[in-house]
Amino acid sequence: MPEQILPLANHLGMSVEKLFRRKLAVSVTAMPGAKRVHGVMPHKLRDGKKAGSVWSLDELAEPGRCVFFDRGKCTIYKFRPYECARMMHDRPDEAVKLRHQIVPHWTGTALKEFGEMVGKKLSPHQPKKK
């Protein structure tokens, strides 16, 4: 969630930008209706993929270890993301539903500074007009 980034940065003694460039990444989520929107996530350790980058749907589908997971434990447990606290890793369908609940919190305002850091316009979730 956007409001969790600054407390995590403070806990780690980093600026938001330093945290993003070392430990986070931009994710993409396919919302119902095929609209793809962005959010921010912990970086997954993987050969050739750097923290502070934008991940595609295909890249997100590949397994990877969270940058905050070390020796079988979450190193930021008290500050872990909302999604991590509720994730059922053995239930992929539930994980997708959870992601669909979280993405709307990543508004244009919340994504702006991360878009500037990656040099791309990021797509926020836009609620359907009634």
**pLDDT band at 65, cuts 50/70/90?**
confident
**Beta strand extents in the chain (DSSP E only):** 24-30, 36-42, 44-45, 65-66, 69-70, 73-74
Average pLDDT over residues 54-68: 83
Instruction: Give per-residue pLDDT as tens, 104-124.
Output: 899 999 999 999 999 999 988
Measured between alpha carbons, how far is 16 from 42 in angstroms, rounded to an integer?
13
CA 90 to chain centre: 19
Digit-coded pLDDT (tens) for 69-109: 899 899 999 998 888 888 766 666 777 788 888 888 999 99
Q: Where are the domains of the chain?
A: 2-118
pLDDT > 70 in the chain, percent: 92
Find the helix or strand (DSSP H, E) in which 118 lies.
Answer: helix 108-118
Residue in the structure block whose two tokens are 């905050």: 68
Q: Which pLDDT belongs to residue 32?
A: 82
Using the predicted structure, report yes or no on whether residue 128 has a pLDDT greater than 70.
Answer: no
